[in-house]
Structure 1
Amino acid sequence: MSQVPAARRTLAVLRLLASSAGPMPASAIARETAMPRSSAHHLLREMAEDGFVVYLPEERAWGLGVAAFEIGSAYLRQGPLERLARPPLRRLVDRVNEIAQLGVLHGAETLYLLKEQPPRHATLVTDVGVRMPASLTASGRSLLAHLPAAQVRALFPGPLVSRTGQGPSSLRELRRTLAEDARRGWSIEDGLITEGFTSIAACAFDHVGHPTAAVTVTFRRETRPEDAWPALAEAVRATAADLTRRLGGRPGTDPRT
């Protein structure tokens, strides 16, 4: 049992409102957080005093307040994901002597937030701040593999992008690839972004098991035979698991099962 029940209830309300499509009545908040109605009303009034929630009288509902927005903005300014990921990525580079990157989903694209590399290593097109089609990159597919099928379908309503004339050309082909990636526990991209380069990626998860970021290692294909890829993938998976722990997360499951 929590030693600070008021804090637990406050956080539960914030998480509920953050995950809701819109403001919620106090009765629904009380029900979803398993809180007595009187306690929910009292807590919401206290949170409103500090600006964390706001009451909308016309809708008779409660929504997130400006203070909650300010905290979210501060999170983005501080870049905690990158800060938490940098040490594991550096250890991964030391272990495999290849470029390691951190990527997240940004709509239907992979956005690269962080890159670590050995000295005097070849530069990649996928640098920090660069976006690439998530259906092509190993990092993007490792994240997509743990999203519900309906969400993947919404992200890719039309034909899929190709850079080198290879890769999945339809949503059906992409689904087959994602199913295999989810079963295997890691994703691979071989020459779909830059000819001659291969990438292996694994996913890190947040506190609810949602795919949050992908750890990727990229190397020249000619330097590593295919029978060496599984061992490299295990190093990437171990780093992603380490990042999951540092995020306070828990491993996700295949949403297709």
Structure 2
Amino acid sequence: MEPTQRRMGRPKKFQGKDTQPTILAVDRALDVLDALAHANGMTLSQLATRLDQSPATMHRVLATLHAREIVEIDQQTQAWHIGSAAFRMGSAFLRRSSIVERSRPVMRELMEATGETSNLGIERNGEVMFISQVETNESIRAFFPPGTLSPMHASGIGKALLSCYSDHRTSQYFRGAELTGFTDKTITQPLALKDELIGIREKGWAFDDEEKAEGMRCIAAPIKDIYGEAIAGISISGPTQRIPESAVGRIGTLVADAAARVSRGLGSS
């Protein structure tokens, strides 16, 4: 009789149980990191209020994380921030794939060819997560720090990725998606978004026309792996005065070509 195989990474005493054990202190520490990651610095009292914990509890968590350089404090403002060790740990996520490494030279060339900021993003839990950026030298520019999240329906990269979904996955997306309006140009109607995705498939690139932020435009295309599946998107973004509608088609071709070059580097045909 063959021995029962337990799930990888789970100790024997949890074999056969569906419930996952948790550690309260670790949960609290991760809550703190999540709060700091979404804010431009938070004081002890702000964290305690946000997480509904006592200042004493928050101070113990912060002191522990600070000792490992996972968080740091600005002595002047007394605001806590994500620390260098957290960045090093988060960078391990990017090392799981060669996509960032392979994309950087192409992103730089795309930035130089268009004069606008180039971005790299992936789908993460139903949103676009930006994982790399090559900034333009222009004083007014788009800025998406690594880890920034954006809704799929109001993002150039998001729409580029949605256009590559299978029929089944597309149906799943529309069943659960909240097509929130951010500007008067955001596509909030499912039928309109479906028509948009058909057009993106035909052109090979997507256009975000001030759909997330007024005055900003984005043009994106999907990056595909060796199996032909879209695993990321590359884009350029900038202000409307530097990306007039007359230039959208030309830039779209450049972005689609950049995506194709990265795709070939990943083994896509």
Band the TM-score falls in, shorter-chain normalisation: 0.5 to 0.7
Partner of 2:95: 78
Give the letter for the 2:221 counterpart: A
Partner of 2:106: 88
Question: Among residues 135, 144, 148, which one is paired with 1:130 in the alignment?
Answer: 148
1:30-179 matched pairs, under 5 angstroms: 57-58=3-4, 76=93, 78-79=95-96, 80-124=98-142, 126-158=144-176, 159-179=178-198
Structure 1 stretches of 4+ with a deviation exceeding 3 A read: 56-59, 63-66, 74-77
Count of residue pairs the alignment pairs up: 186
Q: Provide the rounded CA distance (Å) in 2 between the counterparts of 1:64 and 1:187.
A: 41
CA contact under 8 A between 1:153 and 1:171: conserved in structure 2?
Answer: no
Give the letter for the 2:218 counterpart: S
Consecutive unaligned residues in structure 2, runs of 5 or more: 10-90
CA contact under 8 A between 1:201 and 1:233: conserved in structure 2?
Answer: yes
Per the alignment, do residues 117 and 125 of structure 1 end up closer, same or farther by CA in structure 2, a change over 3 Å counting? Answer: closer
Q: Provide the rounded CA distance (Å) in 2 between the counterparts of 1:98 and 1:167.
A: 22
Q: Provide the rounded CA distance (Å) in 2 between the counterparts of 1:242 and 1:110.
A: 21
1:237 aligns with 2:256: yes
1:188 aligns with 2:198: no
Q: Provide the rounded CA distance (Å) in 2 between the counterparts of 1:151 and 1:200.
A: 23
Question: Among residues 218, 228, 251, which one is paired with 2:247 in the alignment?
Answer: 228
Question: Among residues 189, 200, 203, which one is paired with 2:222 in the alignment?
Answer: 203
Partner of 2:73: none
CA contact under 8 A between 1:102 and 1:115: conserved in structure 2?
Answer: yes
With normalisation by structure 1, the TM-score equals 0.66
CA contact under 8 A between 1:107 and 1:155: conserved in structure 2?
Answer: no
Q: Provide the rounded CA distance (Å) in 2 between the counterparts of 1:145 and 1:232.
A: 19
CA contact under 8 A between 2:116 and 2:141: conserved in structure 1?
Answer: no
Q: Provide the rounded CA distance (Å) in 2 between the counterparts of 1:145 and 1:168.
A: 14
CA contact under 8 A between 1:142 and 1:187: conserved in structure 2?
Answer: yes
Q: Secondary structure at the match of 2:208?
A: strand
CA shift at 1:81, angstroms? Answer: 1.6
Q: Provide the rounded CA distance (Å) in 1 between the counterparts of 2:169 and 2:244.
A: 35
Q: Provide the rounded CA distance (Å) in 2 between the counterparts of 1:148 and 1:105.
A: 15
CA shift at 1:246, angstroms? Answer: 1.2
Question: Among residues 232, 236, 248, which one is paired with 1:213 in the alignment?
Answer: 232
Q: Secondary structure at the match of 2:212?
A: coil
Give the letter for the 1:78 counterpart: R
